A and B are shown apart, each in its own frame.
Chain A
Amino acid sequence: MISDLVPLFPEILLALTAMVLLVGGVFHSRDVTREATVLAILAMLGALVLIVVLGPDRREAFSHLVVVDSFSSFIKTLILLASIGAAAMSVGFLEREKIARFEFPVVLLFATIGMMMMVSANDFLSLYVGLEMQSLSLYVLASFHRDSTRATEAGLKYFMLGALASGLLLYGISLVYGFAGTTGFNGLAAVLGQSGHPGLGVVVGMVFVIAGLAFKISAVPFHMWTPDVYEGSPTPVTAFFAAGPKIAALGLITRVLAGPFAGLSGQWAQVILVISVASMAVGAFAAIHQTNIKRMMAYSSIGHVGFALVGLAAANGLGLQAVLVYVGIYLFMTLGVFSVILSMRFRGRMVEGIHDLAGLSKTHPAMAFVMAAMMFAMAGVPPMMAGFWSKVYVFMAAVKSGLWTLAILGVLASVVSAFYYLRVVKVMYFDEPVEPFDKPERPMRLVMAVTTVVVLAISILPGPLLTGAEAAARALLP
């Protein structure tokens, strides 16, 4: 029994912390958000240490319901970094908006646990439990500003569509179970790996599963909630949405398709290819007309999912590695951008318009530099080579599988999307400043500095990330 618990020590640590904070918070009459957040961050740092201590070996627990391997460790590391970043950036915002409740870090912790469960799932049932735990927490976070109609609308939309997605997923799982006779990934891989034509029922079930998961990564055509939710949610929550759950869901879909459904790669690659092209196109074109930077980032994240799925559509080892490299770099770029967005503040009032960035290079040169670096990285334009590397890898994987058309469409989409990224740079550097923003808070400055340094470091030395991603990808391959 104890040996079952060891691989899950990080999750257990977080769960205990969350419950202690919940109980402790209730017994304090004054607001303890700040303290709770600090403790939550410390717990997550502890979880990071535990992941490192546990090592990269593959361990299965609870009758093969969960698995811990280098793939799950890689994704969990990214998830924890995203949660830590989002938590650090949230406190000041919540206090200013007068919605500081100690439940925020607690719910954030539960969401994190859910995500970590997801990527460690080795059975459709544990997958579903982790996914729902994450989703329910996110619904709460989206409408955390419960007096704001925009936030409650966002939360409600997310909840309704999320319920639909969960229904699709469950229906898919039941079909797969019905035709394959098991929900365990090991068993499914064995059954579906046999030669011969797979049953149509399994394929249909898999399509439903993909649809349910595609909703979580906001891939087209399951993306339509994203702009509304991103715009309506409190900005730290948006930052969290863009980073953590997206990476977790991408990790999950990768594991599901490369693990139990590996034998059906001929079938799912077609679906992923269509989703990928559509996501890149929507991400590129729809963002052009946006004036709200959070909305623009929503479409940008849709586009990035499209690019990451290019690697998955390639359905080869290099492609899996490319997806992991992509999400790793995407995490830091996203956190960096949102640290700037969260600093867009005139005399204590938050603003979200792209035009509000006008002349930032004159009023806050350092902040403008961070934003410009992130925009260049997201566009995949040198000198910020980080975003360039990640795109190169996914396109290389696609070319290796002979998907020339996909690679070319991807390059064209990145050309179009470069327009709106560079427009932000243009606004910051060439437009006249209106009124300087307030000085960014310390956590924001810290996140800005760390993400910029990391992105710059990856630009120059992509080696460590590449080897890490390679090790993680190898865990998925037979």
Chain B
Amino acid sequence: MIFIAAVFLPLLGSIIAGLFGRQIGDRGAQIVTCALLGVSAILAVFIFNDVALEGHNALVPVAAWIQSGNLDVAWSLRFDTLTAVMTVVVTWVSFMVHIYSVGYMSHDPSVPRFMSYLSLFTFAMLMLVSADNLVQLFFGWEGVGVASYLLIGFWYERPSACAAAIKAFLVNRVGDLGFALGIFGCYVLFGSVQMDTIFHDAPGKAAVILHLFGFDWNAITIICLLLFIGAMGKSAQLGLHTWLPDAMEGPTPVSALIHAATMVTAGVFMVARMSPLFELSDTALTVVTLVGAATAFFAATIGCVQNDIKRVIAYSTCSQLGYMFFAIGVSAYQAAIFHLFTHAFFKALLFLGAGSVIHAMSDEQDIRRMGGIWRHIKVTWILMWIGSLALAGIPFFAGYYSKDTILEAAWASGSDVGHLAYVMGVAAAFMTAFYSWRLLILVFHGRPRADDRVMAHVHESPAVMILPLLVLAAGAVAAGWAGEDLFVGEGRAEFWRAAIGVLPHHGAMENLHAIPEWVGLLPLGMALSGIALAYGLYVFAPGVPALLAGWFRPVYLFMLNKWYFDELYDWLFVRPAFRLGIGLWRGGDGALIDGVGPDGVAAATRFLARRVARAQSGYVYHYAFAMLLGVAAFVSWHVFNAG
């Protein structure tokens, strides 16, 4: 019962706030959604205790859904350790964001709609993580996609927000196509979309060969790669990442909840959930590693030069997701989920902190026009420091434990790709520290660069916004050492049980302690040097960054313009699609279908009508002539036919 309640209470809140928002008012909508989600969050703690710590997996049937031939899809909630972890993360971060939104969105004219969307998202996300078959997972997957679309475009009167929402939806569609094909593939191969069936039958089908496009493919590899394309779309991996920075057009709480802490990790979750399948395909795992490592590195380089406070954090998110994926690629699923867990806290903290800064700076988002405000908003300042320390992986903050585990696991995997991922990950760690402190210094320290009017107005956010930040900060400080033992330490086998399947010869997690000492210390050293470099460039020699940008102008522009991915896609896909669309519209629909069809027929009808009406001359001899002509024609017809 508590399982169903935990999942469906947010839906109830969403329906109430969405349909009856006008009746219950802003305050009512806030209270209803926060209260119902609060209950759900508390239930999540019980669920975590029951399922993850005490080891009682649960399978809760809800209703029948599709029964057609041998396709049997039911609504049912599957709770194991993986789901329990995700449930806690989703409900608590969402709960904090709900409360934060009460303050942040207080001046918005459509508060009930916003709260309704947030709760709807939470429901869809819970549906996603508790799915026990792929179709239900897909339902949740698309549900969060819809909620994300609605929330990015929440301020729909802004053209940029609408464009960003559409972009997010379309780019995700590319990934979803892969995901859907992957599900079809599973059904073809296993005759079922039930996860238990798939995992049970998978080892027996490891060698099945598929003939496709004239080549032989390993069926499991194909399915895994298709599923991974879906994960790439949702988790903004290199190639399908372009929507995530634009998604920052949505309100900041949305960025924190959906585009940092929860939804974008759905891809990581899904691949981890399908671990028994991915384990069977080394090719797929290699691809996952490479894509993840490349994303971690690539996004970090862009993060170093962005000037919009939210975009810096957005690229940081992209980069951290890359870490999670290459951890999965080296079969360190536990480390990936551990990082997902800690990342949710400190990234939500950073985003909400950024929201607090933006709030204080009268909606200014450009860090070049900030600076020196730490004195005015001390609480936010401290919280942002905590978040950055956690993100950079400074010891005893959350990120230190999870990120180090990932990097060590990458090395410990012993493979070439693993080592490559390690190198890229360490480089990304250096840049992560650099851009985090660049952001901190430019925003809070130095001389104020905003005008006096804005500076006079700088103020700390209300308690309703600070309180959630404190909770998240506690998570950012404590989640690492509290969870290390369970997630990736000695207790992990008992903690995860069957939720994650790893083949014995993929020993990244087992070999963690058998690696050289420098492997574990190098990331920390790089992080510290990154911080030092940021201090060097932005505190002690503030003129140097501009000089560097001038000297290495092509490189700088390349990074500033996000490696020209948007331009490339624009040229490669968007413009041809537009051209094709315009061609089909003007030529196909307008000229051909309308021209020959409705318009043409109508014109022909009018023409005929005019001609027929003109035959009516009014002269009796015309009429008589027509009659005689008719008789003559009929008689001739019969005479010729008879003859």
Counting CB contacts under 8 A, is B613 at the interface? yes
Are the CB atoms of B631 and A160 closer together than 8 Å? no
Q: Write out the residue numbers on chain A whose beta carbons fall within 8 Å of the beta carbon of B608.
A: 285
**Residue ID in chain B nearest A158 by CB atoms:** B620
Stretch from B197-205, B370-378, B567-575, B632-640 contacting the other chain: B632-640
Are the CB atoms of A221 and B629 closer together than 8 Å? yes
Are the CB atoms of A165 and B627 closer together than 8 Å? yes
A217 vs chain B, min Cβ distance (A): 13
Q: Which of B613-630 contact A (CB under 8 A)?
A: 613, 615-616, 618, 620, 622-624, 626-627, 629-630
A153 vs chain B, min Cβ distance (A): 9
Stretch from A20-28, A199-207, A397-405 contacting the other chain: A199-207
CA distance A203 to B615 in the complex (A): 30
Counting CB contacts under 8 A, is A157 at the interface? yes
Counting CB contacts under 8 A, is B610 at the interface? yes
Known: A200-B638, A200-B642, A286-B613. A225 touches B623 (CB 8 A): yes
Are the CB atoms of B631 and A285 closer together than 8 Å? no
Are the CB atoms of B634 and A286 closer together than 8 Å? no
In-complex Cβ contact of B616 among A168, A227, A270, A274 (8 A) = A227
Are the CB atoms of B638 and A267 closer together than 8 Å? yes
Q: Write out the residue numbers on chain B whose beta carbons fall within 8 Å of the beta carbon of A222.
A: 626-627, 630
Q: Write out the residue numbers on chain A whose beta carbons fall within 8 Å of the beta carbon of B620.
A: 157, 160-161
Are the CB atoms of A289 and B609 closer together than 8 Å? yes
Q: Write out the residue numbers on chain A whose beta carbons fall within 8 Å of the beta carbon of B629.
A: 221
Are the CB atoms of B638 and A285 closer together than 8 Å? no
Are the CB atoms of B616 and A224 closer together than 8 Å? yes
Are the CB atoms of B613 and A168 closer together than 8 Å? no
Counting CB contacts under 8 A, is A416 at the interface? yes
Counting CB contacts under 8 A, is B415 at the interface? no
Known: A165-B627, A221-B627. A271 touches B639 (CB 8 A): no
Counting CB contacts under 8 A, is A215 at the interface? yes
Known: A211-B627, A211-B630, A215-B627. A200 touches B639 (CB 8 A): yes
Counting CB contacts under 8 A, is B605 at the interface? yes
Q: Give the dominant DSSP class at A's interface.
A: helix
Are the CB atoms of B623 and A211 closer together than 8 Å? no
**Residue ID in chain B nearest A419 by CB atoms:** B605
CA distance A289 to B605 in the complex (A): 10
Known: A161-B623, A207-B638, A267-B638. A289 touches B613 (CB 8 A): yes
Are the CB atoms of B605 and A285 closer together than 8 Å? yes
Are the CB atoms of A286 and B627 closer together than 8 Å? no
Counting CB contacts under 8 A, is B56 at the interface? no
Counting CB contacts under 8 A, is A208 at the interface? yes
Q: Write out the residue numbers on chain B whose beta carbons fall within 8 Å of the beta carbon of A228.
A: 616, 618
Are the CB atoms of B642 and A203 closer together than 8 Å? yes
Are the CB atoms of A164 and B638 closer together than 8 Å? no
CA distance A311 to B469 in the complex (A): 83
What mask results when residues 245 to 288 of chain A are scored 1 for a CB within 8 Å of chain B, else 0? 00000000000000000000001001100100000011001111
Are the CB atoms of B627 and A288 closer together than 8 Å? no
CA distance A270 to B41 in the complex (A): 83
Are the CB atoms of A157 and B623 closer together than 8 Å? yes
Q: Write out the residue numbers on chain B whose beta carbons fall within 8 Å of the beta carbon of A182.
A: none
Q: Write out the residue numbers on chain B whose beta carbons fall within 8 Å of the beta carbon of A285.
A: 605, 608-609, 612
Q: Write out the residue numbers on chain A whose beta carbons fall within 8 Å of the beta carbon of B610.
A: 289
Counting CB contacts under 8 A, is A290 at the interface? yes
Q: Which of B579-623 contact A (CB under 8 A)?
A: 605-606, 608-610, 612-613, 615-616, 618, 620, 622-623
Q: Write out the residue numbers on chain A whose beta carbons fall within 8 Å of the beta carbon of B615.
A: 224
A299 vs chain B, min Cβ distance (A): 9
CA distance A285 to B605 in the complex (A): 7
In-complex Cβ contact of A416 among B605, B635, B639, B642 (8 A) = B605
A422 vs chain B, min Cβ distance (A): 14
The range of chain B's interface size is: 20 to 34
The range of chain A's interface size is: 35 or more
Are the CB atoms of A288 and B623 closer together than 8 Å? no
CA distance A225 to B626 in the complex (A): 11
B452 vs chain A, min Cβ distance (A): 60
Q: Write out the residue numbers on chain B whose beta carbons fall within 8 Å of the beta carbon of A203.
A: 638, 642
Are the CB atoms of A207 and B616 closer together than 8 Å? no
Q: Write out the residue numbers on chain B whose beta carbons fall within 8 Å of the beta carbon of A288.
A: 605-606, 609, 613
B169 vs chain A, min Cβ distance (A): 38
CA distance A207 to B606 in the complex (A): 33
**Residue ID in chain B nearest A198 by CB atoms:** B642
Are the CB atoms of A221 and B630 closer together than 8 Å? yes
Q: Write out the residue numbers on chain B whose beta carbons fall within 8 Å of the beta carbon of A165.
A: 627
Most chain B beta carbons < 10 A, residue from A208, A267, A286 = A286
CA distance A214 to B605 in the complex (A): 26
Are the CB atoms of B623 and A204 closer together than 8 Å? no
Most chain A beta carbons < 10 A, residue from B622, B627, B635, B639 = B627
Known: A200-B639, A211-B634. A224 touches B626 (CB 8 A): yes
Are the CB atoms of A286 and B616 closer together than 8 Å? yes
Are the CB atoms of B623 and A286 closer together than 8 Å? no
Known: A285-B605, A286-B609. A168 touches B631 (CB 8 A): yes
Are the CB atoms of A207 and B612 closer together than 8 Å? no
CA distance A220 to B637 in the complex (A): 17
Are the CB atoms of B618 and A286 closer together than 8 Å? no
Q: Write out the residue numbers on chain B whose beta carbons fall within 8 Å of the beta carbon of A419.
A: 605
What mask results when residues 52 to 71 of chain A are scored 1 for a CB within 8 Å of chain B, else 0? 00000000000000000000
Are the CB atoms of A161 and B635 closer together than 8 Å? no
Q: Write out the residue numbers on chain A whose beta carbons fall within 8 Å of the beta carbon of B627.
A: 161, 164-165, 168, 211, 215, 221-222, 224
CA distance A271 to B627 in the complex (A): 14
CA distance A200 to B643 in the complex (A): 9
Are the CB atoms of B635 and A282 closer together than 8 Å? no
CA distance A221 to B628 in the complex (A): 9
**Residue ID in chain A nearest B605 by CB atoms:** A416
Are the CB atoms of A211 and B631 closer together than 8 Å? yes
B615 vs chain A, min Cβ distance (A): 8
CA distance A302 to B613 in the complex (A): 13
**Residue ID in chain A nearest B637 by CB atoms:** A270
Are the CB atoms of B631 and A208 closer together than 8 Å? yes
What mask results when residues 315 to 352 of chain A are scored 1 for a CB within 8 Å of chain B, else 0? 00000000000000000000000000000000000000
In-complex Cβ contact of A282 among B612, B618, B630, B639 (8 A) = B612
Are the CB atoms of A207 and B605 closer together than 8 Å? no
CA distance A399 to B623 in the complex (A): 33
Q: Write out the residue numbers on chain A whose beta carbons fall within 8 Å of the beta carbon of B624.
A: 160-161, 164
Q: Which of B8-51 contact A (CB under 8 A)?
A: none
B234 vs chain A, min Cβ distance (A): 48
B170 vs chain A, min Cβ distance (A): 39
In-complex Cβ contact of B638 among A160, A204, A215, A286 (8 A) = A204
CA distance A282 to B613 in the complex (A): 9
Q: Which of B185-207 contact A (CB under 8 A)?
A: none
CA distance A214 to B633 in the complex (A): 14
**Residue ID in chain B nearest A416 by CB atoms:** B605
Q: Write out the residue numbers on chain A whose beta carbons fall within 8 Å of the beta carbon of B606.
A: 288
Q: Write out the residue numbers on chain A whose beta carbons fall within 8 Å of the beta carbon of B618.
A: 228
CA distance A271 to B641 in the complex (A): 13
CA distance A210 to B638 in the complex (A): 13
Are the CB atoms of A204 and B616 closer together than 8 Å? no
Q: Write out the residue numbers on chain B whose beta carbons fall within 8 Å of the beta carbon of A224.
A: 615-616, 622-623, 626-627
CA distance A210 to B633 in the complex (A): 13
A28 vs chain B, min Cβ distance (A): 38
Q: Which of B124-167 contact A (CB under 8 A)?
A: none
CA distance A165 to B626 in the complex (A): 12
A369 vs chain B, min Cβ distance (A): 28
CA distance A270 to B638 in the complex (A): 9
What mask results when residues 287 to 328 of chain B are scored 1 for a CB within 8 Å of chain A, else 0? 000000000000000000000000000000000000000000
15 A–B contacts from the bound complex (CB under 8 Å): A161-B620, A164-B624, A215-B627, A221-B626, A221-B627, A224-B626, A227-B616, A267-B638, A271-B637, A282-B612, A286-B612, A288-B609, A288-B613, A289-B610, A416-B605
Given contacts A165-B627, A224-B615, 10 further A-B pairs with CB under 8 A are A157-B620, A160-B624, A161-B627, A208-B631, A211-B630, A224-B627, A267-B638, A286-B609, A286-B616, A288-B613
For the complex of A and B, the 3 pairs showing the least CB-CB separation, nearest first, are A221-B630, A224-B623, A288-B609
